[in-house]
Structure 1
Amino acid sequence: MKVLIADDDVLVLDALKTILEKNNIEVKYSFTCGKDILETKAYKNVDVIILDIRMKEENGVDIAIEILKNDKNCKILLLTTFNDTKDIERGLKKGCLGIILKDNIESLIPSIHSVSFGNKVIDASLNLISTDNKNKKSFENLTKKENEILEKIAMGLSNKEIAKELFLSEGTVRNYVSIIFEKLNIENRTKACIFYYNKDNN
């Protein structure tokens, strides 16, 4: 997967690049200025665009809107250190697919993957949407073993690796995964990761 990231803080930018590259995500472009993204049209050559909302003399949401005006198929994930509801809701309304807090590093990778598939991702701690009681009950309905397997999925383990760690057959793990997906009303492992990282806030 190839991504573009923009943040006016060079230290944050370097930290993000390190985290992404350690997780086999290629940072094809990095910018400290949003206008450079528009001028170079680098957004056309990546799978996901990751933008800081607040950059010096720029608003990441404004940059995102301009990108989407030029290419409505771009998949944009917004990053913020503030619960700036007005800007966040404006970005989501205009077509950005996700928003997470910068300090929620553990959900960064699964959020990027989820956005790359066209799914919406909203950091639960931002309180932009009301708690979904159905999802909450779904977590409560998971057995201890199912929760344990969900945790392993969120860690990025394959069915074979989970089976080895939990001393189960691969077929048994596969059955557990199917049951977990059904209970949580999700279709893939990426969504399982997002649900897992947000469950304590739901």
Structure 2
Amino acid sequence: MKIIIIDDDRLVCQALRTILESDPEIEVPAMGYNGTDALSLYEIHHPDILLMDIRMGEMTGIDAGREILKSDPSARILYLTTFADNEYIIQALQIGAKGYLLKQNFECILPSIKAVSMGQSVFGNEIISKIPTLMGKPADVDLSAYGLTEKEMEIIILIAEGLSNREIAARSFLSEGTVRNYISVMLEKLQLRDRTQLAIFYYRNRQTFL
């Protein structure tokens, strides 16, 4: 698994490289120090995951992530920052980032990389607790218009709670394959791109799920 690290602090980059390459399955072929580096290194290496800071010179991680996802919607971007600013969290969710972690929780970095590599979205506990407030007042949406079944609504709630496909399968007494199928169908029904957008959909309309 190839990981590109982008952070304007070179010591942080090296420390992250040491942490990640302690896992024999992970390779860090390059590191960059601003958003411009992120664009060029992504184009060169096409990493499995881009681990990136947000506040950097020349171009922010959010701006770089937005550009990368425009050209490659399948890009997996995981933000690692010291800032839990509401605006940054909202922007990361909106552009389709796969995760948002705080550097203080360094012990979560490696497990989060593994989770993102398996298709999950990862947001630290501090971030998850903010999401309902950040999504604002629930919209007045008729979920029946989307044709969502009771089981599909149950799975959306579990996704919003941060459960993996395996955990959802165990909770719902389904196979992982069946859960993946449910998610594919729901994404098509709601015209959404990924699990993160499903979680956002839930938080924006959570009153209608009750």
CA distance in 1, matches of 2:77, 2:107: 19
- Displacement of 1:44 in angstroms is 5.2
Residues paired across the two proteins, number? 146
CA change 1:185–1:68 in 2 (3 A) is: farther
- Which residue pairs with 1:18 in the alignment? 18
Q: TM-score, normalised by structure 1?
A: 0.63
Distance in 1 between the 2:44 and 2:100 partners? 18
Shift of the 86–179 alpha-carbon distance from structure 1 to 2, 3 Å rule, reads closer
CA displacement at 1:105 relative to structure 2 = 1.1
Cα distance in 1 for residues equivalent to 2:28 and 2:42: 15
Match of 1:182 in 2: 170
Q: Distance in 2 between matches of 1:63 and 1:42?
A: 12
Q: Give how far 1:60 is off.
A: 0.6
Structure 1 residues 20-39: aligned runs within 5 Å: 20-24=20-24, 25-39=26-40
TM-score (norm. length: structure 2): 0.60
Partner of 1:78: 79
For residue 62 of structure 2, what is the aligned residue in structure 1?
61
User: Structure 1: how far apart are the matches of 2:29 and 2:89?
Assistant: 25
**Cα gap change, 1:41/1:124 in structure 2, threshold over 3 Å: closer, same or farther?**
closer
Specify the SS of the correspondent of 1:82.
coil
CA contact (8 A) 1:43 1:67 kept: no
Corresponding residue SS for 2:108: helix
Q: Which runs of 4+ in 1 moved over 6 A?
A: 178-181
For residue 4 of structure 1, report the CA deviation from its aligned partner: 0.7
Cα RMSD for the two superposed structures: 3.1
Measure the CA separation in 2 of the matches of 1:22 and 1:108. 12
Alignment of 1:52 with 2:40, yes or no, is no
Partner of residue 118, structure 2: 117
Instruction: Tell me: CA distance 1:35–1:121, structure 2 relative to 1, closer, same or farther (3 Å).
Output: same
Specify the SS of the correspondent of 2:70: helix
Q: Secondary structure at the match of 1:58?
A: coil
Aligned to 1:2: 2
Letter in 1 for 2:130: L
TM-superposed CA distance for 1:118, in Å, is 2.1
Secondary structure of 1:8's aligned partner: coil
Q: Counterparts of 2:28 and 2:45 in 1: how far apart (Å)?
A: 14
Preserved CA contact (<8 Å) 1:43 1:74: no
Q: Provide the rounded CA distance (Å) in 2 between the counterparts of 1:49 and 1:41.
A: 8
**Is the contact between residue 4 and residue 41 of structure 2 (CA under 8 Å) also seen in structure 1?**
no
Question: Which residue identity is paired with 2:9?
Answer: D
> Displacement, 1:45?
2.1
Shift of 1:96: 0.7
Residues 1:35 and 1:181: Cα distance change in structure 2 (over 3 Å): same
